[in-house]
Each structure stands twice: as C-alpha cells, then as structure tokens.
Structure 1
C-alpha cells in the first residue's frame, strides 16, 4: 500500500514539473517571437546621424513601443539618450539624432517593448565626423593703378560646410594682414572670387591675404604684396548710377585730368557678368566732351539684375578706367496712378493724374480714356482717349483736355492710364454728367 501511495506522489510531482516546464517554454516562445534588428547608421555629420532598425513580430506578443537608444558607452539602454515611438506598427523605422558631439564614437541599439517585456537588438558602432575649415589660395594682384587694384582668391576646399564669407584683408603696415585690417569682400565665380580694391595710396607697398569662412572657422591664404603706381596724370572717376529703373539707368563719370592728351572717346563699360568690366565688355561711349562730368542713359537692361559699371577714357597715353560701381535694376510692376482732378461739360472735359509709382520702369505711354460704359479700359471697342507716347522715366503728373466722344444728358466714365514694359496701369474711375443741349 505504501508503495502505491509513493508512486502516486511521484506521478503528481512529475505532472506538475511537466506543466511548469511547458508554461515556461510557452512564455519563452512568446518572448522569442519578437525580433528587432539595428540595421544601419547613415547621413553621419559632425553632430547628427540617421539610425534605422527593423522589427519582426509573430505569435501572441503585443507591440507597445519601439525606439533606438544611443550612448558613448557600450550596450546603451533606454536609460540613455533615446528616441521612442508609441504604437504597434511593425516595420522598418528610422530616427534622426541631433546635437551629437563632433568626432565621437557612439554605440546604438534598437529596442521594442512588448507585453512580455523589453527586447534589445544588436549593437552598431559609428563615429561622428570631424569639422574641417576651408582652404584658400591668394591670387596675384592685377590691374594695379595709383588708386585701384584687383585681388582675390581660389577656394581649394570648402571644408565640411559651405563658405559663408570670402574676400581679402589688406594692410600697408601689417605684413600678415588679418581680421583687424581692411576687409574687401569678394564676388564669387565658381571656386574663385574677385575683389575690386579702391581708395589706395599712390606709390605704396601693400600686403594682402585671402580668407574664407565657414561654420568651422576662418582660413587664410598666403600673403601677396604689390606696389601702387605713381599718381597718373590722366584720371577718371566712375559716378554713382542714378535714375535706376527695371530696364533703364543713368551712368557716367568725371574726368579729373587728361594728362595733357585730348581724349578721343570716353564712356562707361557695363556688364552683368564680369565684375571688373573693360572696354571688351558692352560699353556706351560718346565723343569726348569739354565738360569734366558726363552722363549716359542705359536702356534695354534686364529687371532685377546686378550690373557693374566702370567709366573709361581713351587718349594717346592709353585707356584709363575709374573704379567699379555696381547697381541693381528694379523689379517691374505696372504703373500705379490716380486721377487728381476732373471736370466736364457738354463741350468737353479736362483732367489731371498723378503717377504714384511707375512700376520701376519708365513710362512709355499715358493718357485718359472715357466711355458711356462703366470701367472702361483700352480693350473697349468704343472708347475715346488721349494718347502721349515716348520715353518718360521721370513722369509723375500729366493732364489732358477731353474732346470728342462727349454726349448730352450722359454720364461719362473716365480713367487715367499709363504703360511701361510690364503692362498697363489704370486709375480709379471718376465720372461727370453732361446736361441737355
């Protein structure tokens, strides 16, 4: 009997052990039905990186959240820096980590949180980039006169960020010019930049050094020297452009001295491409004048474009240039105007109009239109109008007598208009009413 009871107890113990073992295996099986893999690190910069991972989920586990943790120590956990996303979406995912340290080794692991607990993926190691400054070479100085010169540099390598500023530092005292010396900023073309230097002293030795700045700091080229010439007996100055519109402007120069030789031609070189224009570029010249100052009207320019101007003069001693003076043409819009006065009778009418804004371009036509119909414009088949055509860069007011197309016992609708290269602008509509004949 004792033997039978002992066998029963052993059977119960064995049954319990088997049940516990099966339950443990089932739990482990559920837990192992979730896998997360840290795939790759990409887009690595000095302070950021994009980290990707992938989840595979089978069985009964419920996905609660997923994320990526990162640390400068091995085997990072969720107690370290992390980016986490709630939800049960099972797919490849990526997070961008910002504000990392430059030139630093990082360890990353993906992870998922399920109803069975936390599961980590494999570990990947990467190192953030190191910032580098640009490298630059100083160009030889050219086109040296007593007061002007042209310098510049070649950007050999921009470094880890784009060059934000570039130019040359200039000094007649400091043999290694730097940030406390005169700064002449450049105009860039591809990997080179050009600097137009003015207001130099004659017969003076200058030290010049190119520089480039990016987010990592400033870099310098080698020091280059040059000596300005003696004061030239022939001297010409480029005047500031004026009356600047979208397609027109006035430029000119002032002759200080002809050096004892009469100028055969004078004018202004103009270019929207060459920052140091010469007579080989587009130019407007006039027969030499007895006046010291001269002015030339430029037309046919392109709106919203930067132009470089430079006065020049030619005589038996050679071709002489003034300083480079840039200007930018305006954006074009249609003119804005309003009628300031209007009167009418059975015999006719008269009106005046103010041009509030010519649209950044000279007026080429203006006048009044009137009709028996409301809101007349130039497309109406039966309108009366006054017309004045030409080139009027400084027009701000006009008036006219309205004759013809005046009817008795009728309300007449009147508008002023003005045209430029962009189109036609109209004033508000005013009216006058005639009586019976």
Structure 2
C-alpha cells in the first residue's frame, strides 16, 4: 500500500505546482497594464521661431513604467490642443527623454498654442501648454542701420525706408521688447512725419539687457514690419567723486558739485567706466587739470566750473592724453581705433567722420575749452559715447 501512495502523492504535488505557475503567467501576460501608469512630461518654450517655422522640445519625466511608442507635439490656434487636433511627431529623440519636434508651414504673425505629448500602453499624456507668435514677414522696404550705439539705458538706431512705390504710408516707427518678436502692441515709438531716413533714440531701458527691435510702417494695405535685430544695453558705469573744498565759498562749491553730479550722470548712463576721482578746488589753477591717478583740480573761473569742463577733466582721468594706450591709438592726427570712429560716424550721419586729436586732446565733442560747452544734451552724450568707444578700443580707465 505505501508503495502506491508515494507516487500518487508526488503526481498530485507536481500538478499543483504546474497549475500555480501557469496562473502566474496568465496574470502577467494578459494584464500587462496592472502596474503601469500614464507618463509625465513637460513642454519647453519654442525656439528659433520664424514666420513659418518653430522648434519645440519635450522632455519625458517618467514613462509610467510602460514603453513609450509615440511622442510629438499637438498644436493649433486654440488653447489646449489635443492628439485629435494637428500633431507633429518627434524628429529627434534622446536617451535622456528629450525629443525635438520641427513645426513648419505655420502662418505668419499668428499665435499658436502647443503641448508635447507621449503615448504609452496606458493612455496619451500631455505636457504643460506653451504659446508663441510667429514672425511677420519682414518688409523689404524697411531696415535698421548696420552701426548701432548703446548706453546703459538708451539705444540709438538708424532706420531707413527704401523705395516703396505708390504705397501710402500713414505712420512709421519702431517696436521693441525684451522678448523675441515684438509687435505693435508692445513698446512702440511712432513718427507721424514719414521720413526716408531717421535716427531713433530708445530710452528708459535696463542695463545689460538684450532688446529685440523691428521697424514698422502702417500703410493703406495694413501693418508691415522690417527685419528684427537684437542689441544689448551696456553695463551702467560707476564713476564717483569726492571733493575737497580748500577754501571755496559756498556758491563756488555748489557750482563744482552740480557740474560733477551732471557729468558723472552722463558717464554712468553712456559709459561703463568705473573709477573714483578726487576733485579739488584750487584757486591757483588757471582753468582745470587732471591726471590718470584720479586727481582733478578746478580753478576759480566760473566758466570752468560747469559740466563740460568736468567731463573734459574726467576724460583725462581715464586716459585721454594721460595714458600710453591713448598715444598708441591717437597719432597722425586721428584716432586709429574702430569703435570710437563708428560711434562718431553713426551719431553725426557722416560716414567719413573720424575722431581727431593730438597728444593731449580729442575733437569733436572733446569740450576742450569753456567756449565749447553749450550745455546741450547732445554734446554731453557724444563726449561720453566717444569715451565709451575709446574704452572698447582698449583705452583703460584705471
């Protein structure tokens, strides 16, 4: 009897073992989604946006424990586009989970909404929504000049309106913004008088910031934009001074302070020069003088206690006529650096202009005597801008 029981018991255990293993396999093969979840991802901002194209990158943060077999971008002119709307599949995928989608055949000057998506065994997953605006087709009639001049808070640009035939122009100007593709609804500077060429100043900007600028015209056929340019404002200067009264009366001291307050304001807005100087009232000084060490003497004549003289002496304190680099670049009667001459040419509309000078002074706009100081904003701006150009050409300030 015992010999019959043991084989039967072994057979029973074998059958049970096989049945358990088969049941486990059924659960795994027939229900692969049991442990999987919907994927998670994000949509990055659009790149290289033009009038008809854009690039969007998506990033898979988690595949949900299931294979991803499709990834791309859904997009359209209405918010929250879905997989049932227009889609474009990824053209590039990376092991890191990033994927690239190239959008084409877009309409110019149009706002699009887009969401990256992926599909796994569970469902379609969407990333966050982004929006972008395609460029307007650039008008062949409008252009911004090649030479551009920047201060810490100002930009100076040349705008040209080329031959436009019988097109009736009602308005012309510039649009600008810190975001790409500014339009008429952003910052706008308009000119009711239509000129074929004009210089435009943009003010109240932020230092060391990239701005995108486009010229525009409003015509009887609608709005037209020129090609966009980008330009950065410079770092704001940090030119400071202290003053020694040395027996000056209150009226004299106040004149000198007002002169240097205004002069340093121009230097700090239109140059990135950093320097501290000591200003001394000196009754024995005929007019004023300065050295590269930052020592400035101001005499007793009121005509030389003005902003123009202050800027002239500040120029000496940063190397004009007082540093070997100045003499290296100022010879044969003119400045041999590129940037200072470019600034002079652009700001005066004279393509042949060069900064002239000798071993001590430069001109024009050097304010080399009280008679040259007309107190104008343009004079002071030009003096500072030329100094900034000289600095770009290699003149040290310290």
Q: What is the TM-score when the length of structure 2 is the normalising length?
A: 0.37
Structure of greater Rg: 1
Tell me the TM-score normalised to structure 1 length: 0.34
More helix by share: 2
